[in-house]
Each structure stands twice: as C-alpha cells, then as structure tokens.
C-alpha cells in the first residue's frame, strides 16, 4: 500500500494492491489469492466485482494446482495451435 504522508494521519493508507497472493512453496495447495475486482476484471462483466467484498475484508480464496480439481467444472477444452 501507500500512505498519504500528510497530517493529521500521515500513515493513512491511500492505495492498495489490486491482486494479493500468498504462495506456500512447501505446500502449493495451501496458497491463497484475491483480486480487488472479480474474476473477469472487466467492468461490463457480471463477474466484475465478485471478489470485492473478500478483498475489502482482507480474506482470500484457496488456490490449488490439482489438475483434476481445475477441470472438474470445465465445459470443454480449448487447444491453441500455432500454424
């Protein structure tokens, strides 16, 4: 974050990170993250502010590297091919 540096509250926070992540290299599945807006980050998306409340409260979402978990709710798979 960034503080104002001005009286009467020189240490008042005036800026904060939009994305926060805590990575556990000893146990990657214990890592967590949160984004100030939401999953899409696009202001016209219905998911724009999904994570805003969590971010404001200083809460996080679990992050996992489990491939099966990541694909559990997948609708399909997209393959990008260079021609």
Distance CA 22, CA 32 (A): 5
- Residue 74 near residue 62 (C-beta atoms within 8 A): no
User: Is 25 domain-assigned?
Assistant: yes
Q: Please give the share of the chain, as a percent, with pLDDT higher than 70.
A: 95
pLDDT (average), residues 46-72: 86
Domain housing 9: 2-71
User: Is 81 domain-assigned?
Assistant: no
Q: What is the DSSP letter of 71?
A: H
Bridge partners (DSSP) listed for residue 21: 33
User: Is 10 domain-assigned?
Assistant: yes
Summarize pLDDT for 41-57 with one digit per residue, the tens. Answer: 677 888 788 888 888 89
Domains: count for the chain: 1
User: Looking at the predicted structure, is the pLDDT value of residue 38 above 80?
Assistant: no
Higher pLDDT, 63 or 15: 63
User: Looking at the predicted structure, is the pLDDT value of residue 40 above 70?
Assistant: no
């Amino acid at each position: 974050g960034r503080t104002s540096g001005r009286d009467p509250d020189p240490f008042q926070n005036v800026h904060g990170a939009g994305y926060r992540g805590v990575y556990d290299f000893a146990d990657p599945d214990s890592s967590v993250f949160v984004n100030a807006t939401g999953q899409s980050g696009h202001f016209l998306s219905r998911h724009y502010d999904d994570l805003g409340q969590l971010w404001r409260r200083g809460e996080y979402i679990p992050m996992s590297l489990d491939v099966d978990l990541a694909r559990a709710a997948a609708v399909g798979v997209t393959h990008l091919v260079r021609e």
